[in-house]
């Protein structure tokens, strides 16, 4: 018999009474089986157990024992302590992931939720009823559609300045292809984003973005129907020209809901990424950009899904030089008579690959490309040239002697100031003369008479 008493249920007590009557010979096995609703074989098994182990044999064998998968008490205390200190404010799923990653504790989400709720914790995310809407199906191939956007947010903690996180997410798999922190949403940040994505994965087929002025020219909204029918299109922005050079089709969304996949990404990253950077003590853009690759590798492994078609739609990435020339901030300049161009208070000479100067016609229009790494390139008639600083040409001042640099100042000090002569017309102003002639005629004639007589007398005296 067991060493401890186990309380029997009502059903088990009923079985015990019937088995005891059979043991005492009051009823047969068939009668006992009919009363209990069991077979004769099962009644014999229960009778044997009562004779050998006593009434406790009618209870289940695992009753009173600790289950093998029970969470140890020290693990429960560790989870509660971490949730109240390091992981304070984290949602239950995030805590489960960090317990497995950082502490080697493999618990399910339901177990973590049960432990924390019993300890008085509540999830920071409120459960809301999902809104009914028609979901757009994912694209079939990875790289067929890539959504890009930026999220200004206090990524380094509450009360810290807002910075922008720019990211690109694949529509087919939900993989974050690239991400970069910038002080604000700007053109250079998006060029760095595309450069990172093309370098790691290749050239996507389509980019999907909002209608920010970085992506879409404001003039496109001002075109009339007649202009559109005439084939007049708004000029491409700098970003649009970069995508056109890489052969990427650009599509624009008219609402945040249209690019819901990346909007949903911001909700997840603002919760997980911001808190993990706070745990790591990251407080600058440089440190955050160094932290992003490790975080995204783990994030994509957990949340990305398999595409419907395993063949990716990415085109092969161009050479690094071609990529830097294509993804650049562009400025247009005209060539002067010396085949040089002026850019940011400096003059540059176009040279070919052999460092030979390139002669261009005066007034030719050249496009300067400032790459994201600071390199300068010049594009003229689809040809790419390098830019070298042109030799400075200082014009000598003929009025100043080189040997005597202060001669002009000494000469200016010796020159006498000009003073008008005593009989200068400005000094011969006579207000009585005007008042004596003021009433001779009408207002219009008086002005003519005054001007003619006054200046006539001056000219006659000369």
Secondary structure of residue 199 in the 3-state scheme: helix
Instruction: Give CA torsion, residues 60, 65, 71, 77, to 10 deg.
Output: 140
Residues in Cβ contact with 139 at an 8 Å cutoff, skipping those fewer than 6 apart? 145, 171, 172, 307
**What pLDDT, in 10s, does the model give residues 139-197?**
999 999 999 999 999 999 888 999 999 999 999 999 999 999 999 999 999 999 999 99
207 pLDDT band, cuts 50/70/90, is very high
| Contacts by 319-323, CB closer than 8 A, 24 or more apart | 320/199, 323/195, 323/198, 323/199, 323/246
| Residue 417 pLDDT > 80 | no
Tell me the two tokens of residue 51: 């004779």
DSSP state, 257?
A: G
Q: Calculate mean pLDDT across residues 14-39.
A: 89
Q: Calculate mean pLDDT across residues 353-382.
A: 89
- Give the predicted TM-score (pTM) of the model: 0.67
The candidate with the shortest Cα–Cα distance to 277, out of 13, 225, 286, 246, is: 286
Residue spans per domain, the chain: 10-58, 73-118, 146-220+234-303, 324-389
| Residue 445 pLDDT > 50 | no
For tokens 């009668």, the residue is 31
CA–chain centroid gap for 226, Å, is 38
Tell me the two tokens of residue 456: 């006539």
Task: Classify domain 146-220+234-303 by CATH number.
Answer: 3.30.420.10
Question: What is the pLDDT at residue 56?
Answer: 83
The whole-angstrom separation of Cα 111 and Cα 303 is 21
Question: What is the pLDDT at residue 89?
Answer: 80
Question: What is the pLDDT at residue 4?
Answer: 56
The candidate with the shortest Cα–Cα distance to 215, out of 187, 194, 189, 188, is: 187
| Residue 130 pLDDT > 80 | no
Percent of the chain with pLDDT over 90: 40
The candidate with the shortest Cα–Cα distance to 164, out of 186, 148, 147, is: 186
Exposed, middle or buried: residue 329 (CB in 10 Å: 0-12, 13-18, 19+)? middle
The candidate with the shortest Cα–Cα distance to 292, out of 148, 166, 208, is: 166
Exposed, middle or buried: residue 133 (CB in 10 Å: 0-12, 13-18, 19+)? exposed
Question: What is the pLDDT at residue 441?
Answer: 44
Q: Are 287 and 294 in contact (CB under 8 A)?
A: no
Mean pLDDT of the chain, nearest integer: 82
Phi, psi of 318 (to 5 degrees): -70, 180
| Cα 371 to Cα 187, 330, 352, 387, distances in angstroms | 12, 9, 18, 12
In this predicted model, which residue has the larger pLDDT, 147 or 394? 147
The whole-angstrom separation of Cα 213 and Cα 211 is 6
455 pLDDT band, cuts 50/70/90, is very low
Give the pairing of strands 206-209 and 176-182. unpaired
Mean pLDDT is lowest, of 183-197, 226-240, 269-283, 360-374, for: 226-240
> DSSP H helical segments within 201-333, as ranges?
225-229, 238-246, 260-279, 285-303, 320-326
Q: Calculate mean pLDDT across residues 211-237.
A: 74
Residues in Cβ contact with 266 at an 8 Å cutoff, skipping those fewer than 6 apart? 149, 151, 153
Q: Where are the beta strands (DSSP E) in 321-448?
A: 328-334, 340-342, 347-351, 365-371, 376-380, 383-389
- Helices (H) and strands (E) counted in the chain, each on its own, are 15, 11
Q: Are 274 and 181 in contact (CB under 8 A)?
A: no
Residues in Cβ contact with 365 at an 8 Å cutoff, skipping those fewer than 6 apart? 332, 333, 334, 380
| Residue 435 pLDDT > 50 | yes
CA–chain centroid gap for 82, Å, is 30
For tokens 């239950």, the residue is 92
């Amino acid at each position: 018999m067991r060493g401890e008493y186990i309380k029997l249920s009502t059903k088990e007590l009923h079985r015990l009474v019937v088995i005891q009557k059979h043991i005492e010979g009051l009823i047969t096995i068939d009668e006992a089986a009919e009363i209990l609703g069991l077979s004769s074989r099962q009644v014999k098994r229960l009778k044997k157990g009562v004779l050998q182990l006593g009434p406790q044999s009618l209870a289940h064998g695992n009753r009173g024992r600790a289950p093998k998968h029970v969470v140890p008490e020290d693990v429960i205390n560790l989870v509660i302590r971490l949730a109240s200190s390091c992981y304070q404010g984290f949602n239950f799923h995030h805590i489960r992931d960090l317990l497995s990653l950082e502490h080697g504790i493999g618990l399910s989400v339901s177990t973590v939720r049960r432990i924390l709720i019993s300890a008085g914790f509540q999830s920071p995310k409120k459960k809301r009823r999902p809104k009914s809407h028609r979901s757009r199906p994912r694209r079939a191939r990875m790289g067929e559609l890539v959504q890009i956007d930026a999220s200004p947010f206090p990524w380094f903690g509450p009360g810290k300045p807002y910075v922008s996180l720019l990211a690109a997410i694949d529509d087919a798999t939900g993989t974050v292809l690239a991400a970069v922190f910038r002080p604000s949403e700007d053109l250079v940040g998006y060029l760095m984003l595309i450069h990172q994505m093309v370098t790691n994965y290749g050239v996507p087929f389509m980019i999907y973005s909002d209608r920010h002025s970085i992506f879409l020219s404001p003039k496109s909204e001002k075109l009339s129907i007649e202009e559109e029918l005439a084939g007049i299109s708004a000029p491409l922005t700098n970003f649009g020209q970069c995508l056109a050079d890489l052969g990427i089709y650009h599509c624009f969304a008219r609402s945040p809901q249209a690019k819901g996949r990346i909007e949903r990404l911001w909700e997840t990253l603002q919760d997980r990424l911001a808190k993990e950077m706070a745990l790591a003590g990251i407080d600058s853009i440089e440190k955050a950009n160094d932290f992003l690759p490790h975080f995204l590798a783990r994030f994509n492994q957990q949340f990305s899904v398999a595409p419907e078609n395993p063949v990716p739609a990415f085109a092969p990435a161009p050479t690094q030089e071609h990529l830097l020339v294509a993804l650049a901030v562009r400025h247009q300049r005209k060539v002067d008579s010396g085949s040089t161009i002026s850019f940011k208070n400096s003059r540059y000479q176009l040279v070919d690959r052999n460092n030979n100067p390139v002669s261009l016609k005066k007034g030719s229009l050249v496009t300067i490309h400032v790459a994201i790494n600071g390199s300068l390139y010049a594009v003229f008639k689809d040809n790419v040239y390098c830019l070298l600083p042109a030799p400075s040409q200082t014009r000598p001042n003929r009025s100043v002697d080189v040997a005597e640099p202060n001669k002009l100042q000494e000469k200016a000090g010796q020159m006498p100031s000009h003073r008008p002569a005593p009989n200068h017309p400005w000094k011969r102003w006579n207000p009585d003369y005007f008042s004596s002639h003021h009433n001779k005629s009408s207002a219009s004639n008086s002005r003519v008479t005054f001007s003619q007589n006054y200046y006539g007398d001056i000219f006659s005296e000369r």
